[in-house]
Amino acid sequence: MAQSVYLASTEAHAAKSTVALGLLNVFTTNVERTAVFRPLVRSGGERDAVLELLLGRTSVDLPYEECVGVTYDELHADPEGALATIIDRYRELEKKADMVVVVGSDYTGVASPAELDHNARIAANIGSGVILVMSGNDKPTHEIAEAARLALEDMQSHHATVVGVIANRVPEEQLEEVGEALQSLGVPTWTLPEIPLLQSATVAEIKESLGATLVYGDEDLLAREVEHILMSGMNTEHVLERLKEGQLVIAPSDRPAVLIAVIAAHAAESFPSLSAIVLNGGYPVPDSVDRLVTGFGQRIPILATDHDSFTTAQISSRTRGSLTPQTQRKVDVALAAFERHVDPASVLQGIDFTAPDVVTPLMFEARLLERARAAGKHIVLPEGEDDRILRAASTLLARDVARLTILGDERAIRARAAELSLDISEAAVLSPTDPELVEQFAEEYARLRAHKGMTLERAREIVPDVSYFGTMMVHLGLADGMVSGATHTTAHTIKPSFEIIKTKPGVGTVSSVFLMLMEDRVLVYGDCAVIPDPTVEQLADIAISSSETAAQFGVDPRVAMLSYSTCASGS
């Protein structure tokens, strides 16, 4: 039988999905097979957004349909029959998992006074320990503590076992006070801060709420969060004074001067990067303005709606954001907050957890992040023009995994990150053509390669190459390591290290390895990129180096020699 945790709240908008994300992250580090179950989902056939998000982060590949119980309509029609169905479906799912995170209802389809009771009955009948998620948003400390006490008693009256209480969305300055107030409950308690970004809607969500159309800009940028809203009903100069990073600007469609000014400001390096512009009122953009807007070449989404100014502002401000697989920045921020405020050991202790012997891909990845965070190294990323690098950098920075330097044009890189709703503000962005560093690196490179006839003039031409530039940073102690290869070949990436860093003492052959993440273990394959046809001596060197690398990654090295082909099968 799988262990499980049931997340239940006493009201809507307690942000259980943030807690579920954090718990899944804890469990995937320690459990072989993790799964998610939603006992109640909305009626109407629309797939549950929370479940969609969490399914992508479990280690058991289960179809959506196997992870849901019943709809709210089915619960209303036959409460006892619905409970029996929920139990049956949960029992089938738990056969395929070792740990299940059960995410309770959202107060969207059941009368609120009875909803906690429904969750308590479900938790008791599936034998799941309950973690109560309380909302601390806009509430005094005593009210949060009293609500938690009453919810705890209600759960216990329905024979559900409460294993913890989390006060979520608590103002930062109130965290310590709330934490102390909850200690009297007699169960483990934690507090998580209110993070406005997590409640922010994306441009796509506001577009849908308004029934708006995309008239200009890049559809891929609709996933950016709207962190502020500005109703631009004032003179242009006053609109410009009030622009903020990540802002959605609502402008009357019959005032093209405002549209032009806002787009120009968005394009200017000295102004914030906006999330979107909404033209309200339903008036068409004049041809001359259309040519000008198109000529700016900006990717910022510009939406059009027939609503008047008040209605547009009202709908936009009331649109609630959600965590989805597309909102990477929100997911990163939510995980980072959970990691900072919730001790994993206290969670595992509360559910009487026993660690398995196997290592799954998600467990391996999570443990690598933990080790990297503890090491606190400085890494240079030479391929700053690649969106994948920017996304990875945003995640690593949000979760305090490493200090980063990204190579490339700072203005272009930061602008692209803002468009993608990524936060790389803590990263250094360094131009590989920086004159001072190019001169320093060229002098050192010329010295190192003097025996090959390298001149200072030729070195100045070579070191601005990002692979050489990043390698020189490592060589001179300006970074601890370099990660590259997303857009550059293996040869382009490692050639500078052959010339500059060279091999460590005792290693005669440079080789590489792949970490192959299997279902229940990690295998190390080498060499797959550097020496295609090794000699006997090189093969021995590769085996020794690969086993040492495996040990560094926590893999017990047992060496097996594999051949490309046997006899004539490869001919």
- Judging by DSSP bridges, how do beta strands 162-170 and 99-103 pair with one another? unpaired
CATH architecture observed for domain 376-500: 3-Layer(aba) Sandwich (3.40)
Topology of the domain comprising 3-196+341-350 = Rossmann fold (3.40.50)
pLDDT of residue 110: 47
What DSSP assignment string belongs to 213-273? EEEES-GGGGGSB--EEEE--S-HHHHHHT--TTEEEEEETT-HHHHHHHHHHHHSTTSPP
How many angstroms separate the CA atoms of 324 and 447, rounded? 52
CATH pick for 203-318 out of 3.10.310.10, 3.40.50.720, 3.30.450.20, 3.40.1390.20? 3.40.1390.20
Q: Classify residue 321 by its DSSP letter.
A: P
pLDDT of residue 362: 78
* pLDDT tens-place string over residues 186-220: 999 999 999 999 999 999 999 999 999 999 999 99
Exposed, middle or buried, 185 (CB in 10 Å: 0-12/13-18/19+)? middle
pLDDT of residue 233: 86
Q: How far is CA 90 from the centre of its chain?
A: 28
- The domain locations on the chain are 3-196+341-350, 203-318, 376-500, 511-571
Tokens representing 254 are 């019959």
pLDDT of residue 571: 56
How many angstroms separate the CA atoms of 469 and 432, rounded? 6
Tokens representing 112 are 């609120």
- Report the 3 state secondary structure along 425-448: CCCEEECCCCHHHHHHHHHHHHHH
Regions of the chain with pLDDT less than 50: 110-112
* pLDDT tens-place string over residues 219-265: 999 999 999 999 998 899 999 999 999 999 999 999 999 999 999 99
How many angstroms separate the CA atoms of 513 and 131, rounded? 42
Domains 3-196+341-350 and 376-500 share a fold: yes
How many angstroms separate the CA atoms of 562 and 93, rounded? 39
How many angstroms separate the CA atoms of 468 and 465, rounded? 5
